[in-house]
Amino acid sequence: MSKSSQYQARPLQNDGRIDYPDSEHQIWSELYARQIDNLPGRACDEYMQGIETLSMPTDNIPQLVDIDKVLMQTTGWKTAPVPALISFGKFFELLANKQFPVATFIRRRQDFDYLQEPDVFHEIFGHCPLLTNSAFAFFTETYGKLGLNATPEQRVFLARLYWFTVEFGLLKGADKPRIYGGGILSSPGETLYALSDEPIRKPFDLIDVLRTPYRIDIMQPVYFCLDEFDNLFDIANTNIMAAVNDAMKLGMHSPLFPEKTNNKAS
């Protein structure tokens, strides 16, 4: 989170709203239209209910003040406008105080299909619908409180829990897996890939999750599936830090992906 960003967040006006140019509203409209039809039958019911509850606009970037009204009414959460990248400490502090960080920029057209940094589409479309759900909201708050008091080494292991739940989590589903991770839900390619026969899907096991490495720039080779969405309550109420310490003693699993190379194109 400490590296530099090519993007700059747009500032809030005095009324808490952001003046986005029409070209950026158009990008939101296209991103929304491209992804929303992929989700019925693939996204979990809790997410689809959250989409309905938020009732976000389809043709312009939602204003955070409008999202906040719904989140406050449902789970007591709100968004927090942030720059493109923030420190781990700030990230955990916001979550611990029931504030979800949202970078107030949207990807450029040349980054339409893939962006490593979380933009306003990823954060609002991918994550905010589930922040209307009490299990997801409680898990995320608990995670923030744990991270706020963790050591730097413990935070490295905690990051994997967030990655394989909030970002790339799946549910077992009654008939087939369903998606709840925002990193999948905001990505058309990964929405189809995650439910295909290509990746490995494993039952959620906390120690296993904490020991599993990942890369942010590839499709995930492995996903972890909760039996049901309310398992997030159960995870939050376990001794997560004891599991982190056990995972640190056991060490990492071998990665299921090739080592990243630093190829420099001329």
Active-site residues: which are they? 122, 127, 167, 186
> What are φ and ψ of residue 202, in 5° steps?
-120, 150
Amino acid at 120: V
How far apart CA 56 and CA 67 sit, in angstroms, is 8
DSSP 154-217: HHHHHHHHHIIIIIT-EE--SSS-EE--HHHHT-HHHHHHHTSSSSEEEE--HHHHHT----SS
122 assigned binding-site residue: yes
Distance in angstroms (rounded) separating the CA atoms of residues 238 and 163? 18
d(CA 136, CA 142): 10
- Is 259 annotated in a binding site? The answer is no
How do strand 222-226 and strand 78-82 relate by DSSP bridges? unpaired
Q: Which residues contact 202 (CB under 8 A, 6 or more apart)?
A: 208, 222, 223, 224, 225
25 is in an annotated binding site: no
H helical segments located in the chain: 22-36, 45-54, 64-74, 88-96, 120-121, 134-148, 152-162, 182-185, 188-194, 206-210, 231-236, 240-250
- Enumerate the known binding-site residues for Fe cation: 122, 127, 167
- Enumerate the known binding-site residues: 122, 127, 167
